[in-house]
Structure formats: C-alpha cells, structure tokens
Chains A and B, each alone.
Chain A
Amino acid sequence: MPTSQKTIRRNTRTLAQLPPGQRGIVRRVTGGGSIHRRILDMGISKGTLIEAVCEAPLGDPIKIKVRGYALSLRKAEAALIELDETE
C-alpha cells in the first residue's frame, strides 16, 4: 500500500520538529542500541504524550515534559522519536 505509506510519512514529524508549547504522541522510537534503550528507560515509548517546553539558550538540547516530569535531550536524539499529532 504505497499510498498509505506515503500519507503516514507526510504526517510524521519527530520530537525535534515539535515547536515549544506543542504536544505530540509517540508513534515509535527509531534508532537502536543504548540511545534507544535510554529513551525507553526515561519513559518515552509508544503512546506517550510529550510536550515540548523550550530549547536551551544556545539552541540545543531541548526540554520536554513527559509523564509529569521534565527531561532534556539533544535534538539529534529527539529526531529518533516519531510523533503523531494530537487532536
């Protein structure tokens, strides 16, 4: 189903692209190895609601809110987290 695949891709954005103040729901965490594992351990898995809060003064890393606490991660890592839009 190439069409639906395409649609999904167009709608997919990553946490790195989420503007401050907006929310998204984790569709999946890509990548592998210890980065992947660390992201999972910190409470980011499929279906988790994430809110982007702000960028660091120098533009990277970013601060997010997840499961009621504040977490920071670099944009490179945030790009591994694919989001669905929230209604």
Chain B
Amino acid sequence: MRTRFGRRKRNSNTKPTRQHPSPIEDGPGAPASDEAPPVPAAHPGVPAVVHVALAGNPNAGKTSIFNNLTGGRQRVANYPGVTVETKEGLRRHGGVTYRIVDLPGAYSLTANSPEELIAREYILRERPDVVVQVVDASNLERGLYMTIQFLELGVRLVLALNMIDEARARGLRIDTALLGERLGAEVVETVGNRGIGTDALLAAIERARTRPPRPPEGRYPAELAALAAEVRRQVEALGAAKYPAHWAAIKFLEGDREVRQWLAAAADGRATQFESATRRADQLARRTGESIEAQLAEARYGAVAGIYHEAVRRDLSPRRRMEISERIDAIVLNRYAGFPIFLLIMFALFQFTFTLGEPLMNGIEAAFGWLAGAIAAHLAPGPLRSLLLDGIIGGVGGVLVFVPNIVLLFVAIGLLEKSGYMARAAFIMDRIMHRIGLHGRSFIPMITGFGCSVPAIMATRTLEHERDRLATMMVVPLMSCSARLPIYTLLIPAFFPLRWRGFMFFLIYAIGVVLAIVMVKVLRVTVLAGESTPFVMELPPYRWPTARSVVADGWEKSVLYLRKAGTIVLAISILLWTATSYPVPTRHAVDASRLTASLSPAELARARAAEDIAYSLAGRTGRAMAVVFQPLGFDWKVCTALIGALGAKEVFVAQLGIVNSVGEDAPSVSDLHGVLAHDYTPLQGFCIMLFCLVAAPCMATVAATRRESNGWKWALLQFGGLTALAYVVTLAVFQLGMWWGIGV
C-alpha cells in the first residue's frame, strides 16, 4: 500500500498555473495506476491518471458519489502507516483516466480526530490534482467552513452540492455560478443516491484540473492577517516545503500541534523568529479576550456567511424535510417515549436478525446434510472421507450456517445508520455510556460487537479520542459476537429444557454486557485513567435508506466474514482434524480387554474412537490443559475444543463435534446434543459457554485490535486480560455452583 500512495510524491513547487498542469506526467515514466489502460496517443497533453481525492462531512453522501464515479469497481486499501481503510477506484471519461480516492469523513481539517488528520495529511502529502468536497446542500453553511479550509490549503477544488433535491424541497435556491465565482472553485449539483450529476461532476473535475487555485485572501482581521503574513515570510525563509507556507502560517497561529512540531524541527535552533510571533499572537489573544483559534474560526465563518447569503436564497415554502425530522425527533427523543422506543428498536433489530434468519439457517443446514450424505454414499470409509465429512463439512458448514444472521444484522445496523437513527441511539445512550466511562458513540461499535468483533473494533474509529477508542476496543469482545452463537445454540438445547432456553440466551448476553461495564470501570481507573471526552455530534436529518446501499453494505461486511470463514476456519478445521486424527495408535486397549464381547459393534467403534482421539496430538494437548481447567469443570475434550476456539470462536463447535464423533459416520448437531447431555452437567455446560464468551478473543479480533491500537501492547493486554478474566469468572461460577448444588 505504501508504495502505491508513496509513488505520487513529488516536489511541492509544481507550478499550478501552467496550461496543462499534469504533474504526474512530469516525472519521466511516472507509472500509471496498475489497472489504468494505456494513455491514448491522441491526447498528448492529458496526464496518465488524474488523481482525485473525495472529501466531505460524514452524512453528506460521499459514499454514493464515490460509487457513481467509480461504477462500483473499487478496491479497498489502507492509508500508509495507519489503519483507516479507504476505497479507491478508476473512472475513464472522455479519454482521461481518473483515480478516485475516498478520504475519511471529516468536519474540518483541524486534525481533531484520526480521520481529519488523515484527510489533511493525504492532501498535503499526496497532492491530488483535484479535491472534490461533497457537501449536504441543505447544510451548506457548515460545509463551506471546510471549503474555506481546503482553499487555505491551496487545492483545486470542486464542490459537489449533494442531495440538491432535498435542499430544493426545503426551499433553498443556490446560485451555483455565483458560489463558484466567490469561492474560486467549481460547483456542481448532484443527487448521489439517484445517480444524478455524475457527468457534470466529471466535467467539473476536468475544468478544475486546468484552473489555477486561488488562495483565499482578505478574510482575516487586519492584525491577524499581518501576523500571518509575518509568520508566512518566516516559514518561506526556512525553505522547507512540506506544507504550503500560507497555510502553515495560519495553522501555526492556531496552535496546530502537527504544524508547530514540524516548524520547530525545520527551524532547528532558529526558532527565535517564531517565538516573537508566538508572543505577539498571545498578546493579541489576551487583548481581545479570545483565542487566535476562535478568531480565525470566526473569520472563516464570517467569510462563509458572506458568500452563503450572497449565493443562497431561501423561499418561504415550508422546510419540509427538516420539519419531518423535527417531528420524528419529538417522538423518538421524547422524555418518556424515547427510551422505550430505543429498546423496542434494539429488540426489533435482534428479532429481525435471528427470527428472519432461522428458516435460512435451516435451509443451509439441510444443504450441508445433503452434501454430507452424498459424500458418504460415494466415498469408501477412510482418511479422505473422514477429512471431508468431519473436518471440512463439519467445520466450514458449521460457520456458513450463521451467514444469514450476519447478513441480516449488518443490514439492520446499516438501516439504523443510514436512516439517521444511530446518532439518536448514541444521543439517548450517552448518559449511560458516559456514566460507564464510555462515549455515546461507543454504543455503535458495542452493538456491532454483537455481530462480529472485527468490524466493531474497526468501528471504534468513529470515536474521536484515543482513550475512548481503546476502552471501547478492549471490551468489544465481551459483546457476544455471532461466532459465539453456534456455541450457545449447541450447548443451550443440550442442557436446558425448552422453557429455560430463552432465558439462558439472555443471561449469557447480559453477563457479557455487565462484564464489559465492569472492565471499562477497571480500565478507567488503571491504564486508561483521565478526564472524560467531549460529545459534540451531529443529528443528521432522517432519510429513507436506499435498498441498494443497505444491501450492498450488508453484503460487503458479510463477505469479510465469509472470507474469514472460508480461509481461516477451513485451514483450522483441516489442521485440527489432522491434530485429532494423528498420530494413530497401533492397537486399542478395548480390543484386549474382556469387555469386547459384551459391547455392540457401535459401542466398540466408539470406544476405539475415544482411544484414537486421546492418543492424538490434540488429545494430548487437551489432557495437559485439563490439569489447569479441571477446577472449572472442563475435561480434556472441552480443552481440546478450546484450542480450536483460539483460531475462531465458531470452530469450538466443529472441534467438539470432531472430538466426540471422530470415526462415526454422521456427525450432526442433534447427535452431539445427546453426547454432551450424557457427558456433562448443565453447570458444566453453562461454564463452557461462559468461558467461551469471555476468554481470549479469536485471532482475527486480536489482529484487528493490534492494527487499530497500532501496537501489540493493547492486543496482548486484551488477549491475556480477557483470558484471565474468563478463568476467574468461570472458576467462581463452577465452584459456587458445585457448592450450592445448582445444575449438577
């Protein structure tokens, strides 16, 4: 990834005023993007690839614009050095290839959050030929604040007034020509979710590419402008060109950490010049009673207000959509009804996921049953048949069964997010989440954690502050993910009568939530101590989510899960099958004993199989572990299955199946129920679930935590901490259960 982004690096002194500013072509033999078709000879002045960065606020419809531009052909990439995933795609239009990079959603370029910092650094470092800023046309005034910041950066800008239809319905009349004139940028109208305005956008990108950027001027109060000019001269005198001088001067005065560090390093001893500027800035702030930052923000808003009121007329017709949103909010955020509605929606989410998923699951199960039957009928008993039936079908089939649940859950979460309710959920939950030590927004990754910890940990990116992010990330695995569902659906029916099953499901999920709360508290007074962080969040207008976007999103996330199931789980299933099958004992003790005559052939086979697995590598490891886990009520079989759960939680089920049915022809869940009910007490069954809930998250989760927390420290703390917690909690439950004689 690094090379692909890094390749675009070039000198910052590329003259933007030339007729054909095609800096990518300037370097002899600058490579085109991998998928770019050859440049047609008929367009000698056209660069190989026009590099376009797509930026904008969250909720502005950036994703749909990106999909319209790239036609869905895209690839996911990582920004160098950090882990925010981004998409990029190519578009051929009028003989030009556009490489379109989707920047993370951000409200400004002040580098408050990793997203903002990434968006800013990307533009500064990679210097895209054109930046397209997508704004919600109904929310133009705030969008223009970011526009001004882009112009300060000196980029060639296209402003896409997205969802212009909604803005019109609200009675906004935007004079795009005048707006473009005042800003010195191209302005186009788009309706991203209906695919309107894409060609106009491409044409605007083409115009912007050949248009010199106009640095904003005269927007600051005289005294600040003078100060900025002074700092700018000093920056220019340094001769360093990492950041544009004008911009660096403004950011220096704002007290921007990144820029100040850079300037301090660049000045290297000559910092006295900046000291005088800093002193004057401090004096100015003291005299006016307002920070330089606030003054600059005001100046920008002043400029925005001027341009906005010139270019935008508001008809007196009712502001329909806002009004509808207000009316919905009046109910949904109502003091009395708000919380019950929230709980109802959460309940609906789980009903939708699990009830609707049920028939689909049964279908998949039946398909695998048929496949297993077909293989059993056509293959002679032997290692290959055993591998296929017990290893592969048992393992991968057991995972695929949960695909409907996962698709539905992600669709449900997508619906909440895209409709605008997710922000309300955070709003309603913040009081509680804040009291716990988290942020209202932590709620989103936490609830995603019920689907899969991996996207949930990725979703912690929406949290602005590192402490919130880490705290959330660390406890997300305690939200019982869908991969643990197979464990519960196997164990609960095996040990509990029908009327208790619903409660047991609830109990295990509730324990996860309670432990998460406790662990956050612990983290907040130990490794993550410190004051709590701000909650300033937009409540976007309610919108009808388009079916296409919700389904595409659900599908995309499910494919991620499937890829994991298809590769990791398959590999682990085969490995575990090998570990449970080899080495093979040369002879069986049961054959030598006098018992042989009294056993039926089936019982004999089973006794032999039990010896086989005890002799195998997995059995030996499990036995060694059983010494430690015996106080928890776990025998070596459970321990052997726990080894599998390390790779992926759902493998536990496959592994337990193999451990209990190796050598038998038809391993199935209902058979396993019988075996388990025979071998263990309900208390043991519960303890197994408890341990699986809390213990070491799967490898993919550990990897995600490592990536998102940018180091092994937190990943290992999470892994070790949760495993230790699981041991202690399960030990307590088992021992107390034994003591009181519950479920024995």
Binding site for B on A (CB under 8 A): 28-29, 32, 34-43, 45-48, 53-61, 63, 67-74, 77
Contacts and interface: CB of A to CB of B under 8 A. Distances in A.
B138 interface: yes
Contacts of B64: none
B334 to A, nearest CB: 7
B110 A41 contact: yes
A71 B537 contact: yes
Contact of A69 (B335, B428, B538): B538
Given A63-B427, A73-B534, 7 more contacts: A41-B145, A43-B145, A56-B430, A67-B139, A69-B138, A70-B325, A77-B535
Contacts of A77: 534-536
A71 B538 contact: yes
A61 B330 CA distance: 15
26 contacts: A29-B294, A34-B464, A34-B534, A37-B112, A40-B297, A41-B112, A42-B107, A42-B536, A43-B141, A45-B294, A46-B294, A47-B298, A54-B333, A56-B333, A57-B428, A61-B430, A63-B333, A68-B322, A69-B540, A70-B325, A70-B538, A71-B537, A71-B538, A71-B539, A74-B430, A74-B534
* Interface of A: prevailing SS: mixed
Contacts, number: 128
Contacts of B139: 67-69
A73 B298 CA distance: 20
Contact of A61 (B290, B325, B535): B535
* Interface of B: prevailing SS: helix
Contact of B431 (A53, A56, A68): A56
A67 B144 CA distance: 12
B177 to A, nearest CB: 22
Given A43-B301, A67-B142, A36 B294 contact: yes
B336 interface: yes
B667 interface: no
Nearest to B290: A28
B335 A57 contact: yes
Contact of A57 (B322, B338, B536): B338
Nearest to A43: B142
B301 A45 contact: yes
Pick the most buried of A42, A47, A57: most chain B CB atoms within 10 A of its CB. A57
A73 B141 contact: no
Query: What are the nearest 4 A-B pairs in CB distance?
Result: A57-B338, A58-B431, A70-B539, A40-B297
Contact of B112 (A38, A46, A53, A59): A38
Interface string B140-151: 011001000000
Interface string B413-434: 0000000000100011011101
B470 to A, nearest CB: 16
B536 A71 contact: yes
Contacts of A55: 335
